[in-house]
Amino acid sequence: MATRVLIAEDEPHIVESLSFVLQREGFSVVSVLDGEAALRHLRSDAPDLVILDLMLPRMNGFEVLKAVKSDPALRSVPVLILTAKGQAQDRRMAEEIGADSFMTKPFSNRDIVAQVHRLTAP
């Protein structure tokens, strides 16, 4: 079965290009546009990896990350933060909460794909 990636990102064009690139690599991709939907999806059908934006409507990425990492059922799902909030304090906070990887926008497709492969490797 294909490795499943959840993209939580409110910029539809980023979702589109990311989905395209990841699907070509053989991943199965689902996307949501806000934090609450991300958490709902995680709880109902946990993916193998989440690509998470920090500035999401309804519930920000930090909160989603915190909910994931404090839930024993979800804790092991790797979270890749993909954000325009690239200040040192954001990175530090994300890492403190338990983010597995942190990338800033604008990103290169190749780097994202490499990270996703690394984080989902058996």
Partner 1 sequence: MRRSLIGPTLRERRRQLGITQSKLAAEVGISASYLNLIESDKRNIAGSLLKRLADALGLALDELDGAAERRLVDDLGELAGEALLADLQLDAAGKHDLASRHRAWARALIRMHRAWLDRGQTVSVLSDRLNQNPFLGSAVHSMLSQVAAIRSSSEILETVSDLEPAQRQRFVAIVGNESARLAEVAKALAAFFDKEYTDARSVTPVDEVDDFIVDRNNCFPELEQAAADFRRAASIAGECSTVALTDYLARAHAVRVVVAPSARLDVADVRHHAAFDSASRTLVLAEDAPRPTQRFQLARLATELFDRQEAIDGVLAPAGELTTDAARRRARRALSSYLAAAVLLPYEPLLEAATQQRYHVDALARRFDASFEQVCHRLVSLRRPGAAGIPFALMRADVAGFTSKRFPLPQFALPRHGRACPMWAVYQAFGAAGTMVRQLAEFPTGDRLLLFARTVEKARPAFILPRRTYSIMLACDALHADRTVYGDGLDLSSAAPAVPVGPSCRLCVRRDCLYREEEPIVAA
* Binding-site ranges for partner 1 (CB under 8 A): 11, 13-14, 16-18, 20-21, 24, 35, 55, 58-60, 62-63, 66, 84-87, 89, 93, 96-97, 104-110
Range list of H helices, the chain: 12-24, 35-44, 61-69, 88-97, 109-120
Nearer to partner 1, 76 or 87 (CB): 87
Q: How far is the CB of 107 from partner 1 (least distance, A)?
A: 6
- Three-class DSSP category at 122: coil
The nearest distance, CB 10 to partner 1, in angstroms, is: 9
Q: How far apart are CA 65 and CA 69, in angstroms?
A: 6
Q: Least distance in Å: CB of 105 to partner 1?
A: 4
User: Residue 38 in contact with residue 6, Cβ under 8 Å?
Assistant: yes
Measured from the CB atom, the residue of 33 and 93 that comes closer to partner 1 is: 93
> Tokens 């409507």 correspond to what residue?
57
Beta carbon of residue 47, minimum distance to partner 1 (angstroms, whole number): 20
Between 1 and 11, CB nearer to partner 1: 11
Cα–Cα distance measured from residue 101 to residue 116, given in angstroms and rounded to the nearest whole number: 9
